[in-house]
């Protein structure tokens, strides 16, 4: 758990303002994370690491009951592009993904993919760029 916490802190501190996700993902991969799964709107994440799984509970997007929004791939694309250009914070991105009908996403760090899932059968898979990080 300490290894993951250190990697997350390092990744957040050193990623660029735009196109930062590949740097975050590579930092986690180097720390032994293989996949990470996020559940919306709970904002719960599970990191599958070489040292075992770790769960992180962030504040949920809302309390109470709500209808799940229908999947809207155009809205998801807009949320992704806004995030990639540094126009949103992570919580803002997660909220926009939820409004686009995403209930979960899985990042496969070795394959460099992020797969977004709706409550139905819709999925969207995005490949992210490989990056070279300086050795520390």
Determine phi and psi for 110, rounding to 5 degrees: -70, -35
Laid out side by side, the sheet with 33-39 consists of: 52-57, 44-49, 33-39, 104-108, 113-117, 123-127
Greatest CA separation for the chain? 46
Closest CA to 71 of 50, 98, 94: 98
Q: Tokens standing for 75?
A: 């809205």
Q: pLDDT 10s per residue in the chain (136 long)?
A: 788 898 888 888 878 878 788 999 999 999 999 999 999 999 999 999 999 999 999 999 999 999 999 999 999 999 999 999 989 999 999 999 999 999 999 999 999 999 999 999 899 999 999 988 876 5
What pairs with residue 88 in β-bridges? none
pTM over 0.85: yes
Query: What domains are there in the chain, each with its CATH number?
Result: 2-127 (3.30.1810.10)
- Does residue 49 sit in helix, strand or coil? strand
Q: Which residues fall within 8 angstroms of residue 63, CB to CB, at 6 or more apart? A: none
């Amino acid at each position: 758990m300490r290894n993951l916490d250190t990697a997350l802190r390092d990744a957040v501190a050193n990623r660029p303002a735009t196109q930062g996700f590949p740097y975050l993902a590579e930092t986690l991969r180097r720390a032994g994370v293989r996949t990470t799964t996020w559940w919306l709107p709970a904002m719960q994440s599970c990191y599958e690491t070489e040292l075992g799984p770790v769960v992180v509970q962030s504040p949920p997007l809302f309390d109470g009951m709500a209808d799940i929004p229908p999947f809207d791939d155009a809205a998801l694309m807009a949320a992704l592009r806004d995030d990639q250009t540094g126009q949103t914070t992570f919580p803002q991105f997660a909220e926009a993904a939820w409004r686009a009908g995403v209930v979960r996403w899985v990042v496969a760090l070795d394959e460099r993919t992020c797969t977004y899932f709706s409550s139905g059968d819709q999925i969207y898979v995005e490949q992210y760029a490989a990056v070279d990080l300086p050795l520390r």
